[in-house]
Amino acid sequence: MDTSQYLELFIDETKEHLQSLNEHILDLEKDPGNDDTINEIFRAAHTLKGMAGTMGFARMQRLTHDLENVFQEIRNGNMKANAKLVDILFRGLDALESYLEVISASGSEGTEDNEDIINDLNEVIEEEIGTGTKEEKDSTTSKSPEPVSSERENKFERIPVSEYEISSMDKAKQDGQNVFGVTVYLQETCILKAARAFLVFKAVESKGELIKSLPTTEQIEDEEFDYDFSWILGTSESKQTIKNLIMSVSEIADVCIDDFKYESAAAPKEQKVKEEAPKKAVEESAEAKKAPQAVAAKGKVASRSVRVDIDKLDVLMNLVSELIIAKNALVSVSSGGEGSGTAEGHGQAFHENIEYLERVTTNLHESVMKVRMVPIESVVNRFPRMIRDLNRKLGKKMELYMSGEDTELDRTVIDELGDPLMHLLRNSADHGLESNEERVRLGKPEVGSIFLDAYQDGNNVTIEVRDDGAGIDTERVKKKALERGTITEQQAETMTDKDFIDLLFRPSFSTADQISDISGRGVGLDVVKTKIESLGGSIEARTVKGEGSTFMIQLPLTLAIIQALMVEVGNEKYAIPLGNVDTIEDVLLNEIKLVQSKEVIHLRGSVIPIIRMHEILEMEDYEKNSEMESEIIVVVKRGDQRIGLAVDKLLGQQETVIKSMGHHITNAKLFSGATILGDGEVALILDTNTLI
């Protein structure tokens, strides 16, 4: 068995436990006497320690063990959570997250021991409850495993053994070792049984020799067993030591362990033992003795799993069944089966089945999209901890209010969303909110408020980050822009407040006199904009001086399948995401005007610039139809901004599956991907955000 197949599982579960610890420690700081919170913290820490140990990450296990010591003392009522202790606990969690990042990148935990955190944890225990020996401290966290349930059998007594295995047990006894029969019972709530069984094997592999396994290691790896498995183990350790090692693995319900009784090869047999082929026995034993070492990951181990509600899978299964029915019906019609009759009847049956197939595939698409959807809470749940840290670091009183955490987005979007939101929240905390004294002077509540709201809006999800701070000083932005030469005096005279706010998204533009290590209004905002636009979304800022600022992000629900407007430019077909299309206009040639040498149209009170798509796409052999009296203009939008794209022909609306173009397209910024049309032709999908 190979640890590399469980590394991703370990990373996913560790992230969940660390997030749980972050959330519950925040709750503990607010309510130090809540027993339920304390128990949840201890359980998460204990599980995390066992997982790290069984995966062979000793440094991570040691740090978690010391954190668990503190949690145990809190649980026993010997200590109370205070601000100083919580700060140290959060440093410990940050160190565990650093270990996890190194593990994700390399497959090993690195060489950092974090002795300063471990020493601080031990000092806190000594200050609160007095000094004690290490054995006394360890005894508080080492619980004896639960007694064996009388209902559970010692199934190892039923393990059949071959002559080869009997000789292995005789040799173990000659070497002064014990031969134990072990039966391990997994909790019935355990989902990945093979992974847990492997972690149990890994926990005891260095303590002895696995002589026989029932079921075999291959069957266990393929999950061909119920919730228990048995072995014969040769070891110099005691029963209790082996039992404790096994029980340290999470999701273990019970362990039965006793001396394994068998007829020695030297003694006369009272009954015939079922023999197995010696060669097979040698191979099986050799396989069992293989040390499953952690394999260093080639590149970062990214989380690619999605937890799916079983009801969603049931719907998916039913739709696939209907798809098969539709396929069979089409096969029947195409082969002139029963019911096709005349040519007219044949055609009618064919069209009815095509309509049925279309309905099924549409429903199947919607169902698959729901399977890919993940609540946004998986991203935003870490932000209360971040605001708590900023509160202490900046010396500002602030509170984070979140809503819409159950709003769902495609997993691929969720994975990329954390950093942009973190930038915006840091900006709000550092430069958006005034100091405590300033807020009191202005008659505002001393505690500043930051809001993170998410909600679905049609085929998009909108996320707002807002604060009740000072707002963006557009005069200051104007002054900085002029000083840096970003704009000229002439441009500044015609610019609106919104134009000045948009300058904040320029690379490295900032109004801050001193850039802190936390944020600077504008520092990072260009990164935020680039990331959001790479996800097919848009961002805009709004502000009211003295009342606060709002950053509004709009993102598509999914990046996999989109509704698109198919257009033709020259002899080539292109797809424009329908969510970006504002309107389609048939404009007379004499209605297109020139303003500062640029083509524009006047549309319902707005002046919209025109872009000739054949020029952007650099079509050298493009020939314009000189007999045309009008132009087809597709007006696309990004926030409040709009431009018109001049195309030759509209081909209609189509559901398109986005395919990656790889690394071979040099002008990749103009396209977000490609799609394959019904006739097999490839059409590029335009990223209109790059044109606005």
Residue 378, both tokens = 């998986």
Respond yes or no: is residue 68 known to be catalytic. yes
Asked whether the beta carbons of 6 and 198 are under 8 A apart, the reply is yes
Contact by Cβ (8 Å): 352, 360: no
Distances (CA, A) of 515 to 423, 430, 530: 14, 10, 21
Positive or negative CA dihedral for 359, 360, 362, 363? positive
Burial of residue 502, with CB atoms counted within 10 A of its CB: 0-12 exposed, 13-18 middle, 19 or more buried: middle
Is 614 noted as a catalytic residue in this protein?
no
Q: Tell me the H-state helices in 395-496.
A: 411-427, 436-441, 474-484, 489-494
Query: SS3 for 607-636, per residue?
Result: EEEEEEHHHHCCCCCCCCCCCCCEEEEEEE
Residue 354 CB contacts under 8 Å (≥ 6 apart), including other chains: 330
DSSP three-state, residue 604: coil
How far, in Å, CA of 553 to CA of 90, rounded? 30
Query: How many Cα atoms sit within 13 Å of 545 on the Cβ side?
Result: 8
Q: How many CA atoms lie within 13 A of 629 on its CB side?
A: 0
CA distance 20 to 232: 38
Q: What is the DSSP string of 125-180?
A: HHHHH----HHHHHHHH-PPPPPPPTTS--GGGG----HHHHHHHHHHHHTT-EEE
User: Residue 309: which region, alpha, beta or left (left: phi > 0; alpha: psi -120 to 50)?
Assistant: beta
To which H or E segment does residue 11 belong? helix 4-30
Q: Which residues, at least 6 apart from 650, have a Cβ–Cβ distance to it below 8 Å?
A: 565, 566, 567, 568, 584, 632, 634
| Tokens at 219, concatenated | 């069957």
Cβ-based burial of 371 (10 A; exposed 0-12, middle 13-18, buried ≥19): middle
Peptide bond into 278 cis (omega under 30): no
**89 is written with which tokens?**
């606990």
Closest CA to 565 of 624, 461, 647: 647
Annotated active-site residue 590? The verdict is no
Pull the structure tokens for residue 394: 């900046």
Take residue 205 and report the two structure tokens written for it: 């592999």
Structure tokens at 692: 């606005």
Say which of 23, 24, 29, 68 is annotated catalytic.
Answer: 68
Contact 427, 516 (CB under 8 A): no
Q: Which two tokens stand for residue 588?
A: 């007379």
CA distance 438 to 440: 5
User: Three-class SS of residue 244?
Assistant: helix
Query: What element of type H or E holds 392?
Result: helix 383-394
Query: Do residues 645 and 611 make contact, with C-beta atoms less than 8 angstroms apart?
Result: yes
| SS3 (DSSP) at 665 | coil
Catalytic residue among 22, 69, 353, 427: 427
Question: Known catalytic residues?
Answer: 46, 68, 427
